[in-house]
Structure 1
């Protein structure tokens, strides 16, 4: 029964007040061992693969169709890889593979680990905000970001492999699908997300630190882009399972 519940047995909806996404370019060889056999890394210029960190302020998370007062508000930190999966019909799907998820609410950790395979843990989150800067940090998880709120003419991060923001938006996330794989049964769980009002805006990043990336022993992850998305109605369809090969 527990395994069944983890497979997204019903649709879920929420409202993203804001989503900050920081995408890092890493030589593909360094990330290959982090994905299951059924997935392929999304590759850029035959060299780069990508790992993203999303910081999301979420409201009213609940089973789709339930009233808002039954929803939960929480902050989410998601670490995920950009991947592709070829389904049994031969269609190639772009999506994400979740490495780890963190939240500021113990209730969300509990519910998230009952109904998903996303490895939720609870952590502290502090946000400071003024007319010039926004800072989000966690002492326990050892991450911080500081963004400039006043700059309009924003350049791509230094050493980004992208040539312009249009190219960078292909890796803004979230992508249409999220994948989970059971190595023992060879079954792939496919979760499709449906979004509205999706308009990523570039961010100027003043400073950042993500201890999770250091723990992966990546040699030199390059900040490739950073975007913010605001006020997005979002829902996830019921999960679909298919046998790989």
Structure 2
């Protein structure tokens, strides 16, 4: 039944908001975390990136199903910016999933049946005012405080020269990739979004347990963006045998 994990049907949802904090590390530090079919998507051929995506998801359901059959949940996802050259020779830009967390056990259960996204359930909570957004989780060691400020400066020490360059690594990207080493299969999931306008957001505090791991030692916060009110859907996954180099 492993084929079920390859996104066997299209899915749609509405993102009330999606916040992405992107961390930069030397590319040599992240290369070992990727399967052999993927390469890092880099900046200046030096920096590679891990995205922390924080998404308020509404009405997630198989595409075409009525909204009342959907599920609302909060998602914290940890992904690496990557590239993949498919068998048609196209160079695709996307994300490789390291881990996904959600506030709903139901979502974690079904997410692990139909995806390779490595879901776990956690106690993540979001609260907000007109200007501030706070995201906390004791279980995931998550303490994030943000201020809505489109005139925010880039985070101190950012590897980007300006917001225009930083926006290339705002996430999510058009594609997500998973790799089954046992049968040498790559699954490609294409996302289709509307109303996608990443806006800078000011980071007041960002303590993220996942990023505190030794393998991410020295990670630098490079950018932070927010998008709101986004219709989104994922196409049915496409699987191909990786032919290698």
SS in structure 2 opposite 1:155?
coil
Query: If the length of structure 2 is used for normalisation, what is the TM-score?
Result: 0.97
Report how many aligned residue pairs link the two structures. Answer: 243
In structure 2, C-alpha distance between the alignment counterparts of 1:77 and 1:216, rounded to whole Å: 20
Partner of 1:146: 145
Where does residue 193 of structure 2 map in the other structure? 195
2:31 matched residue in structure 1:
32
The 5 A counterparts of 1:114-193 are 114-149=113-148, 151-193=149-191
Distance 2:61 2:214 in 1: 32
Match of 1:18 in 2: 17
Q: What's the C-alpha RMSD, in Å, of the aligned pairs?
A: 0.9
CA distance in 2, matches of 1:198, 1:55: 16
**Paired residue for 1:230?**
228
What displacement does 1:243 show?
Answer: 0.6
Q: How far off its partner does 1:129 sit? A: 1.8
User: Structure 2, unaligned stretches of length 5 or more?
Assistant: none
Deviation at 1:235, TM superposition (A): 0.3
Contact 2:151-2:200 at 8 Å conserved across structures: no
Matches within 5 A, 1:74-113: 74-113=73-112
Q: 1:242 to 1:163 in 2, by over 3 A?
A: same
Secondary structure of the equivalent of 2:216? coil
Q: What is the CA distance between 1:216 and its match in structure 2? A: 4.4
1:87-111: per-residue Cα shift (whole Å, max 9, x none)? 0011000000000000000100011
Give the distance between the partners of 2:242 and 2:125, measured in 1 at CA.
42
Distance 1:67 1:101 in 2: 26
CA distance in 2, matches of 1:227, 1:117: 26
Gaps of at least 5 residues in structure 1 are: none
Encode CA deviations 1:148-173: one digit per residue, 9 max, x unaligned: 13x44211111111111111110000
The superposition leaves residues 24-67 of structure 1 with CA deviations (integer Å, 9 ceiling, x where unpaired) of 01000110111000000001111100000000000000000000
Distance in 2 of aligned mates of 1:94 and 1:232: 21
Rounded to whole Å, the distance in 1 between the matches of 2:3 and 2:127 is 40
Does structure 1 conserve the Cα–Cα contact (< 8 Å) formed by 2:50 and 2:78? Answer: yes
The residue matched to 1:102 in structure 2 has which SS? strand
| Deviation of 1:217 (Å) | 2.7
Instruction: Provide the residue aligned with 1:57 in structure 2.
Output: 56
**Secondary structure of the equivalent of 1:159?**
coil
